[in-house]
Amino acid sequence: MRRIGICALLVALLAAAPAAAQPAQKIIFDTDFAFPPQDDAMALFFVLNSPEVETLGITTVAGNRSRNVATADALKVLELTNRSEIPVFEGAAGPLLHQGTDWDLKRHGGWYANEPAPAPPGGFAKKKAETRSAVDFLVSTVMQSPGQVTILALGPLTNIAMAMRTEVNFARSVKQLVIMGGAIASLPDGGGNHTPNAEFNFYVDPEAAQIVLRSGIPIVLSPLNVSRKARFTKEWYDRIVAVDTPITRLVKDNLGPGFQQRPDRIGLMYDQIAAVTLVRPALMKTVELYVDVDINPGVNYGVSVGAPQTWPGGEGARKMLVQTDLDWDAFIRLYVERVTAQGRARK
């Protein structure tokens, strides 16, 4: 009887052990960063307060704004949230091949600029970017721990494509890629947000997007189809700023004026969904699709196309998990809970 008792106790202890001993997943946060309300910053707040995730470094890339803005703003946000121990590495200042036109310059063409960054709110951070490049950091970090590092890719995929070209074993050594990008027109809510059918991140660097989507790295794709189901309103803003932390102060300073002006405004959530995917993937509904990116100059430059089977001309498409919907209620509650947590950012 006593032996059975001890056995039962051991079994119970062993059953409890894995959950307690679960190590944090190592990630690299690849981003076309800018101060909130931009979604990259709002995604970083979630990651900083999620103990399941260990951010090894932030790599910056040209996208929504220039690479220089991305670097300066990331350093400053880390300083303001007392997380300057996370290193920032400068990445690509522009796409692999895509030449910006006058049209681009007039419409969200920050990626097509390389002027020095203006000072972020409160002035430049004391800490500078690391001297090593983003590509060097991506390659060496992934190759040191093959199969263990996840990349959260929240901007154009230029840095990741360059890492693949720098180290032939890079792709097979990445654990997983969670990508905010693309739009699947064959599914609901799948039109583009920049050109009629192209999503912004993929449009900025279509060649990089195609290289990365064809890489064979296990991919979870978070396209506009799911972003359009995540509508951030003042109700949730109010819940965040009801708590006072360095992070919620940043949210208040940067989202407050917009909500004051138009309390009925709605902000779609993009990068935040990819960030939450790291912690609670089951909150997002996914389908398995073959996805590829059009790199032919013309009306579909940068357009992602997805289907349950390959199609003539789509032989290069690789299978990946594509998010189509989410459990909004559970998602937003978890997001707000984490962003308002009295985490390590407290001071």
Answer yes or no whether residue 274 interacts with Ca ion by CB under 5 A.
no
Q: CA 107, CA 88: separation in Å to the nearest integer?
A: 28
Answer yes or no whether residue 86 interacts with Ca ion by CB under 5 A.
no
Residue number, 40 or 205, with CB nearest to Ca ion: 40
Residue number, 70 or 345, with CB nearest to Ca ion: 70
- Shortest distance (Å) from residue 155 CB to Ca ion: 5
Residue number, 43 or 317, with CB nearest to Ca ion: 43
Residue number, 40 or 292, with CB nearest to Ca ion: 40
Strand runs labelled E in 161-206: 176-180
Question: Nearest to Ca ion by Cβ — which residue?
Answer: 154
How far, CA to CA in Å, does 273 sit from each of 40, 56, 71, 145, 202?
10, 20, 22, 26, 17
> Pairing between strand 318-326 and 53-60?
unpaired
**Span of 104-112, 192-200, 231-239, 267-275 interacting with Ca ion by CB under 5 A:** 267-275
Q: How many CB atoms lie within 10 A of CB 285?
A: 13
Answer yes or no whether residue 302 interacts with Ca ion by CB under 5 A.
no
Angle, nearest 10°, between helix axes 271-279 and 39-48? 20
Contact positions with Ca ion (CB under 5 A) in 34-73 = 40
Answer whether the bond into residue 37 is a cis peptide, omega within 30°.
yes
- Shortest distance (Å) from residue 128 CB to Ca ion: 22
- Shortest distance (Å) from residue 161 CB to Ca ion: 16
Q: Phi-psi category of 44—alpha, beta or left, where left has phi over 0 and alpha has psi -120 to 50?
A: alpha
- Shortest distance (Å) from residue 116 CB to Ca ion: 21
Query: Terminus-to-terminus CA distance in the chain, angstroms?
Result: 54
Answer yes or no whether residue 187 interacts with Ca ion by CB under 5 A.
no
**Span of 44-52, 82-90, 154-162, 227-235 interacting with Ca ion by CB under 5 A:** 154-162
Please report, as ranges, the residues that interact with Ca ion according to CB under 5 A: 32, 40, 154-155, 271
